Amino acid sequence: MKSNLLLAICLGAIAAYAQKPADLPPGAAGGMPQVGEAHGNGGGGGGNKDPDLIDHSGPILPASRIYYFWWGNQSSWPSDAVAGLPALANGFAASSATADTFMTHIFPQYMRGSSLSTSFAGSYYDSSAPPASNPSVATMINEACKVIGLNTLTADSSAVYVILTSNFPTGANYCAWHSWGTCSGKTIQVAYVPNTTNVTGCNISWGKDITYSPGTNSIGNVLSHEFSETITDPDGSAWFDTKGGEIGDKCAWQFNGYVNNLPGAGTWQLQMEWNNATSGCIQQ
């Protein structure tokens, strides 16, 4: 479904943010308005398979940089997450330049002829306590702006700022979401990826044939979903279907039984993504 756009002014940093349906875990009730994705069918457990994604001509991110902003107590994440999740981002980057791997399987068809590339821009830390309950998009944009400023970075409209919180919010019926807002006069994209370790419905893993722990893999899986949607539909005006489903929504929680072997990043269990070329979900 098409989302409403809410306007907000906050200390001159945030010009706008969106309230939208969220990514739900399998079996969750759909259609509940939560802060979250640019578009989404509100459903879990497989999403909608038909029709294909439609190009609504909005911005896309063919060349992107991934930043990790770790918010909270580092000891709360799985012990291998601080190494594993950057490896995953570097695996995305390596795959964007390597034929027949991860990103080149699916994403070029949505880039309107532009070359596809991404890079990992590094990890930055905020040891303060993240919100205990459902955070607003404004809260996440503010956090991104805070970390950008504290580290003398420049707000980057081509970046995907992944905010990894050490906790999982109480009362949430989603596993992660992505959105956008304004920081220092520039539109930025944020992906809110809370700690899904041991969260029922979000921590789905075979527990075999993967390099990292099930908790780290579960975080990586929802991170992959949000990254895929952010580069193809960063502000809710590019690629989505007639029901509002984005590239990840349409294949939510669908796995084909194979692991993703990313260059230099080990093996992961990541959901499939929608491929217009075959009108179906395929392995990344």
Amino acid in the structure at residue 68: Y
> What pTM did the predictor assign?
0.86
* Those residues with Cβ within 8 angstroms of residue 104's Cβ, 6 or more apart along the chain or in another chain: 95, 96, 98, 116
On whether the CB atoms of residues 132 and 38 are closer than 8 A, the answer is no
> In terms of pLDDT, which residue wins out, 45 or 70?
70
User: Beta 159-165 vs 186-193: how paired, if at all?
Assistant: parallel
Q: Which of 87-91, 96-100, 144-148 has the lowest mean pLDDT?
A: 96-100
> Around Cβ 214, how many Cβ atoms within 10 Å?
18
* Those residues with Cβ within 8 angstroms of residue 48's Cβ, 6 or more apart along the chain or in another chain: 41, 241, 243, 245, 249, 250
Write down the pLDDT at residue 259. 82
Query: Where do we find the tokens 């990103």?
Result: 103
Indicate if the pLDDT at residue 65 is higher than 80: yes
Q: How confident is the model at residue 41 (pLDDT cuts 50, 70, 90)?
A: very low
* Those residues with Cβ within 8 angstroms of residue 12's Cβ, 6 or more apart along the chain or in another chain: none
Q: How confident is the model at residue 250 (pLDDT cuts 50, 70, 90)?
A: very high
Dihedral of the alpha carbons of 60, 62, 63, 67, in degrees to the nearest 10? 60
Dihedral of the alpha carbons of 40, 46, 50, 51, in degrees to the nearest 10? 30
On whether the CB atoms of residues 213 and 205 are closer than 8 A, the answer is no
> Around Cβ 198, how many Cβ atoms within 10 Å?
12
Write down the pLDDT at residue 45. 40
Write down the pLDDT at residue 104. 79
Q: What is the mean pLDDT of residues 134-157?
A: 97
CB neighbour class for 195 (10 Å; exposed up to 12, middle 13-18, buried from 19): buried
Q: How confident is the model at residue 50 (pLDDT cuts 50, 70, 90)?
A: low
Indicate if the pLDDT at residue 178 is higher than 80: yes
Give 265's DSSP letter.
T
Query: Where do we find the tokens 């770790």?
Result: 70
On whether the CB atoms of residues 130 and 138 are closer than 8 A, the answer is no
On whether the CB atoms of residues 264 and 91 are closer than 8 A, the answer is yes
Q: What is the mean pLDDT of residues 117-122?
A: 94
Tell me how far apart the alpha carbons of residues 243 and 207 are, in angstroms, rounded to a whole number: 34
DSSP 3-state of 96: helix
Rounded to 5 degrees, what are φ and ψ at 69? -110, 105
Write down the pLDDT at residue 275. 94
Indicate if the pLDDT at residue 128 is higher than 50: yes
Indicate if the pLDDT at residue 22 is higher than 80: no
Whole-number average pLDDT of the chain = 83
What are the tens digits of pLDDT across the range 98-119? 655 667 789 999 999 999 999 9
